[in-house]
Amino acid sequence: MTACALVFRSVHDVLKAEARTKERGFATRLIPVPKQINPDCGLALQVACGDLAAVEGLLADMRERLQGAYRLDGAAFTPLEPAL
């Protein structure tokens, strides 16, 4: 399974996204974010890349809170064009 990640502007937002996706049965989890992407709390929402479009649809009302979508290649985050 290829993993992707969504990075949000705040801890509250990433926890909200995690709660909402888990409630809908997505296998999401919190992971650290490299400091070059976000110098702050360093939490992102890991999502199976195959679920990314569905998760972005579920979180459409959080568009303004999303800072970026990434593909995980080991420890590296490769930017994706977010659909949100």
Partner 1 sequence: MAADARRYFDNAATSYPKPEPVYAALDRWARDWGATAGRAAHPAAVAGSRLLFDLRRELAALVGGDADRVVLTKSATEALNLALFSLAAPGDVVAHGPLEHNAVMRPLTHLAAARGVRLVEAPGDGHGRVTPDAFARFVEAQRPDVFVTLHASNVHGLAQDAGALGDICRKRAVWFVLDAAQTGGCLPLDAAAMGVDALCLAGHKGLLGPTGIGALVLSARAAENTRPLIHGGTGSVSEKETMPDFLPDALEAGTPNTFGAAGLLAGVRYLAERTVADAAQCEAELRGRLLERLRPIPGLRIFGDDPGPAVAVVSVAAAMAPSDLAHLLDERYGVAVRAGLHCAPRAHRFLGTAPAGTVRFAPGLFTPAKVIDEVVDALAEILRSPS
Stretch that binds partner 1, among 27-35, 51-59, 74-82 (CB under 8 A): 27-35
25: left (phi over 0), alpha (psi -120 to 50) or beta: left
Q: Which two tokens stand for residue 19?
A: 């709660």
Residues 29-68, interacting with partner 1 (CB under 8 A): 30-33, 39-43, 65
> Is position 11 an interface residue for partner 1 (rule: CB under 8 A)?
yes
The Cα angle at residue 80 between residues 55 and 22, in degrees rounded to 5? 20
Q: How far is the CB of 27 from partner 1 (least distance, A)?
A: 18
Distance CA 23, CA 5 (A): 18
Q: How far is the CB of 39 from partner 1 (least distance, A)?
A: 5
Q: How far is the CB of 70 from partner 1 (least distance, A)?
A: 15
Q: Residues interacting with partner 1, by CB under 8 A?
A: 9-12, 15-16, 19, 30-33, 39-43, 65
